[in-house]
Structure 1
């Protein structure tokens, strides 16, 4: 059934006229835009018990900070404390004292909107703790947003809309997670904001797979990428990447093979030789794109299949990124948008040759030069994993690729500037292993595939019947 999209005002009015919903609004940083939408809709006395804006940091600390909570004001920890404090106070004051049956809620946001110099990162945490049934334990939904508009008033307007969308979705779309997600962007165009993370939990939301929701954020075009830490937990990218060194290896990992493991180990070994390397501040990612690499064709997207691959990679101790990027320069540009230190992209020599194909950059006014300006910022290097030449049987390195003369000049410059480096300490016996080959053997019941992947991966595939495996 097609979902009806209501205006922001009608959503707020619908909640105002619902005599069972009653709550508080606590908003920091972007003004009181969400509560304002409810006041402007009319009938707000039926919904709003209190509004507060602890804009001063000292007031915010007094109300919402304790020794266990982060001192960062725009953080998930601060939002969680705001929701806990406001909800507990609301229920403590009004529980059992309302004449009509009441489902209480607390809405909160802590946001950094654009400053007058326009040099800060505009983002925020937004959440709602709410009852679906009277006197039940509350459910909770938290999202993180990145604001793209370059004007403070426009960002405030966006916050008001997404806040109303969130509260409305909590009461009217809680039983349909994908509709819930899509409704958060009602009356908003995708260029206004990204929703980079969502977390839903509570007695009526226990059925929700938050990792599946994360993949659907990318699938629905609501964000460019999502990240899982090595323990399989969804993380907000800006928090995870802050001041980190990043090593990213793109692949299908369907499944990860001994070759993939060798690529990760050998490329990380190069990174460790950097003089300022620090294990505590270095993250490696296996990046899975929703698209075929450097292809205009879109994969048939099966969210559960992506999560199966995430599980396998997490089991191997890897952080995982799922993105909607096709071209490598867009992947690099994404990382460059965060405050990271060094970036290293791992690529196979055959794929490197494709990266220098000008036909992939015809959509850019500056063509290949524009793309490569984004692909090779100052903090970026590319590590190249060799391959076996099918005709000669010899190992091909970065110096063995064939390029047109105009591209060759640019390539030689990048080589001489050490922006492209060969991965040398490899296990040559793994060079002939490819994920598509292993996948084909799995589906054809050719048991030889088991020798091409780590034991943990083979056992997981067989026990969970992954990738079309059958006994």
Structure 2
């Protein structure tokens, strides 16, 4: 088992790499200066590690070196940089360097805070390396967001992060989860505030052939490298900002263990009304199913691969999937607002009111339930409420019961159309409970099969998911 040494300073990490006579490579950085290279030079003995440093800021110069790219701060560009620099090292040095040499190329292309712009500060960072002499290359690529306020602070943080990447690649590669956990070393203050966020990671190449990258992206959330990760409708890990930017977003939250017919009904009912909202265009609506890590804890989910089965099932229904650690609804909305100023629609069930209007749910929040509601329903946000049946009684937004001291709050939100009842619902499916179905699936064939969309039922049976093991028919 690889152990993560959390006591090491950035200087100690840089020096450890510099003093290893076999690790030798190139550091190329576009944007935010050359802080990674500076860290290695400042630590001392860098002549044994650094073959070249470079910063090709000019677009024409960058294109001449690496070739054209659709965007300069992109995965495409950082991949071009990594491959070009790595191949160049071999072509120039193979005949003169020791056979024990482990070559690496580190590359970063970022857009940091500037005097003239207040744009999102983010970037692509990667390392391509030999983890054994003469071995085929392995590669790690990441997308990062810089959270500091000034260019100087962001540059400094990127320098620390780069050292963590290079050191971690050589010391923690046998356990990619430990590598992830080491990325924010010396980048979190005493109050738990991060200076950098990593919201996508991808391992590839010789050493990482068996790595399941979706599990690694899930671990980004578990290890607090970010608050949320996203999978597209095909199940691939994607940068959340790229998928949500300038989109109208309709999100449904749940445990989805498993996705049921009522989940589909809720989405369809809300979508009809969402498309009627001012400015919403059908071809721009981004539909996403969100699962919070709190749901995993409540479900007793300990196997990440079992959890990813939910992602697969939601993909079968055409959903993009968001995994977050946001327990409260308003936190989720605030996170999405980072990336889009377009309209946001949130689909809730009446059953969610047990949390939504429970004051203890907002313990620790200075303004309590009033602050939470203000943040949830502010600006360009619609919340659609889907009915349910409880004890045979149809419970809707019009007759739902909440605690006496929140009744007027509910009335205010309803009358001002912050909470909006769905105009349609499928009464035949209102009795469906995913939790009840989850208990029935391990028993084999049964009525639960009729409560799931056909693709979900077939996939569960074909892959023996959620404990399903088909019993012989009588």
- Alignment TM class, shorter chain as reference: over 0.9
Q: Which range moved further: 343-352 or 261-270? A: 261-270
Match of 2:260 in 1: 257
- 2:390 corresponds to: 389
Equivalence for 1:302: 303
2:397 is the alignment partner of 1:398 = yes
In 2, the alpha carbon distance for the partners of 1:340 and 1:82 equals 33
In the TM superposition, residue 65 of structure 1 has moved relative to its aligned partner by 4.1
State the TM-score, normalized to the length of structure 1.
0.93
Q: Tell me the number of residue pairs that the alignment of Structure 1 and Structure 2 aligns.
A: 464
The residue number in structure 2 matching 1:240 is 243
Deviates more, 1:197-206 or 1:264-273: 264-273
Compute the displacement of 1:349 (Å): 1.2
**Secondary structure at 1:450's aligned position in 2?**
helix
Report matched runs for 1:12-411 at 5 Å.
Answer: 12-66=14-68, 69-71=69-71, 73-116=72-115, 119-189=118-188, 190-191=192-193, 192-292=195-295, 299-390=300-391, 393-404=392-403, 407-411=406-410
Contact 1:291 1:299 in 2 (8 A): no
CA separation in 2, counterparts of 1:244 and 1:317?
A: 17
Alignment CA distance shift 1:70-1:45 (3 Å):
same
Distance 1:55 1:339 in 2: 29
Question: 1:261 and 1:304 mapped to 2: Cα distance?
Answer: 24
Q: Is the counterpart of residue 442 in structure 1 residue 441 in structure 2?
A: yes
Q: Is the 8 A contact 1:257 1:452 kept in 2?
A: yes
Q: Secondary structure at 1:198's aligned position in 2?
A: strand
Instruction: Report deviation, 1:107.
Output: 0.5
CA distance in 1, matches of 2:407, 2:111: 45
Secondary structure of 1:467's partner? helix
Which residue does the alignment assign to 1:467?
466
Q: How many angstroms apart in 1 are the aligned matches of 2:235 and 2:23?
A: 35
Q: Distance in 1 between matches of 2:116 and 2:365?
A: 29
SS of the residue 1:322 aligns to = strand
Say whether the 8 Å CA contact 2:99–2:133 is kept in structure 1: no
Preserved contact between residue 224 and residue 325 of structure 1 (Cα < 8 Å)? yes
Query: Following TM superposition, by how much is the alpha carbon of 1:120 offset from its aligned partner in structure 2, in angstroms?
Result: 2.8
Cα contact 1:290–1:301 (8 A) shared by 2: no
Deviation at residue 467 of structure 1 after TM alignment: 1.0
Q: Distance in 2 between matches of 1:276 and 1:317?
A: 24
User: Deviation digits for residues 13-70 of structure 1, max 9, x if unmatched?
Assistant: 222122222111111111111111111111111111111112234433433341xx22
**5+ long unaligned stretches in structure 2:** none
Cα distance change, pair 463–58 in 1 and its aligned pair in 2 (3 A): same
Cα gap change, 1:84 to 1:291, in 2 (>3 Å) = same
Larger mean Cα displacement after TM superposition, 398-407 or 198-207: 398-407
- Deviation, structure 1 residue 219: 1.4
Task: Give the Cα–Cα distance (whole angstroms) in 2 for the partners of residues 399 and 52 of structure 1.
Answer: 65
Contact 2:357 2:406 (C-alpha < 8 Å) held by counterparts:
yes
State the Cα deviation string for residues 157-195 of structure 1 (Å, max 9, x = none): 221111111111211211111111111122221522221
Partner Cα distance (1:353, 1:436) in 2: 16
TM-score, normalised to structure 2's length? 0.92
* Cα distance in 2, alignment partners of residues 229 and 99 from structure 1: 45
Distance 2:65 2:123 in 1: 19
The answer on whether the counterparts of 1:109 and 1:124 sit within 8 Å (CA) in structure 2 is yes
Q: Is the Cα–Cα contact under 8 Å of residues 329 and 374 in structure 1 kept in the other structure?
A: yes
CA 1:59–1:414 in 2, change beyond 3 Å: closer, same or farther? farther
3-state secondary structure, aligned to 1:436: helix
Give the Cα separation in 2 of the matches to 1:245 and 1:322: 19
Stretch deviating more after TM superposition (197-206 or 73-82)? 73-82
Distance apart, 1:298 and its partner CA: 8.4
SS across alignment from 2:294: coil
Would you say the 8 A contact 1:290–1:325 is kept in 2?
yes
Residue 404 of structure 1, CA deviation: 4.7
SS at match of 2:33: coil
SS at match of 1:398: coil
Aligned residues: CA RMSD? 2.1
